[in-house]
């Protein structure tokens, strides 16, 4: 029985290492990219595709993973009800602070390239009262 426990512990440690190593930060966003986009930002058309590609990945912001849940069906409610968005002070929103690296860990942790305007899109969406559009 002792050998089975040791094998189980080793398996858990290896799985944990794989889980953690699946997320890493390749790009650092410019925290000075506070420019507001000059158009209406659509949560579903502009932000959800970015979440799907860069955030809602295995081991990261999915159901049962890290909060907020950024899967397409749950992203809006998770951001709003989880306190990640502050429409009264958009630049102090947790989601924005994470994207710009002003709050650690900086997001997203994925290795893929991210749109250069993600900060501006997020800031504009929050400034436009974070509509579920």
Q: What is the pLDDT of residues 66-111, one digit of tens each?
A: 899 999 999 999 999 999 999 999 999 999 999 888 988 888 775 5
Higher pLDDT, 14 or 12: 12
Instruction: Quickly state the pLDDT bin for 116 (edges 50, 70, 90).
Output: low
Instruction: Quickly state the pLDDT bin for 13 (edges 50, 70, 90).
Output: low
Rg (C-alpha) for the chain, rounded Å, is 17
Q: What are phi and psi of 2, to 5 degrees?
A: -60, -40
25 has pLDDT over 90? no
List the one residue out of 132, 20, 23, 133 whose CA is nearest residue 79: 132
24 has pLDDT over 60? no
43 has pLDDT over 50? yes
- Confidence (pTM): 0.71
Return the domain boundaries, the chain: 24-127
**Do 41 and 128 meet the contact criterion of CB atoms below 8 Å apart?**
yes
Return d(Cα 6, Cα 11) in angstroms, integer: 9
The answer to which of 27-31, 39-43, 86-90 has the lowest mean pLDDT is 27-31
């Amino acid at each position: 029985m002792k050998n089975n426990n040791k094998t189980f512990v080793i398996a858990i440690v290896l799985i944990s290492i794989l889980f953690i190593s699946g997320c890493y930060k390749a790009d650092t966003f410019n925290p000075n990219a506070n420019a507001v986009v000059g158009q209406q930002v659509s949560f579903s058309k502009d932000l959800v595709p970015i979440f799907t590609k860069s955030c809602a990945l295995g081991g990261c912001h999915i159901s049962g993973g890290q909060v907020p849940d950024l899967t397409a069906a749950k992203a809006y409610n998770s951001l709003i009800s989880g306190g990640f968005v502050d429409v009264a002070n958009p630049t102090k929103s947790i989601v924005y602070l994470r994207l710009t690296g002003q709050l650690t860990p900086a997001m997203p942790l994925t290795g893929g390239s991210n749109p250069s305007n993600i900060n501006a899109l997020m800031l504009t969406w929050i400034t436009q009262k974070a509509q579920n559009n």
